[in-house]
Amino acid sequence: MASTSLRQQLSIMRQSLFDEGLLDHDQVSYLETLENEDDPYFIENVFTLFLRDSSRYIDSIEKALVTSLVDYLVMERMMY
């Protein structure tokens, strides 16, 4: 019963991320096709890396924006 509730919560959270435009449905669907028996945690690993790296990039972007001369090429790479 508890696992059903957790699955429902995850499903609702996932859908809200799609609805808010924070996740792209087509990209997530594509990633889901890459997950298989050889790498059953593929999507989890991709999202973990993304979240870890994105916080580092956001910090770098914030620091770069307070400098008097902003290097827009560097900023573009960090934002990509």
Q: Give dist(CA 10, CA 14) in Å, integer.
A: 6
Q: Does pTM surpass 0.85?
A: no
Q: What is residue 36's DSSP assignment?
A: B
- In the three-class reduction of DSSP (H, G, I as helix; E, B as strand; rest coil), residue 66 is classed as coil
- In the three-class reduction of DSSP (H, G, I as helix; E, B as strand; rest coil), residue 39 is classed as strand
pLDDT digits (tens, 9 = 90+) for 9-52: 988 988 998 999 988 999 989 988 888 888 888 988 988 898 88
Domain boundaries, the chain: 1-34, 37-80
Q: Is the pLDDT of residue 67 over 80?
A: no
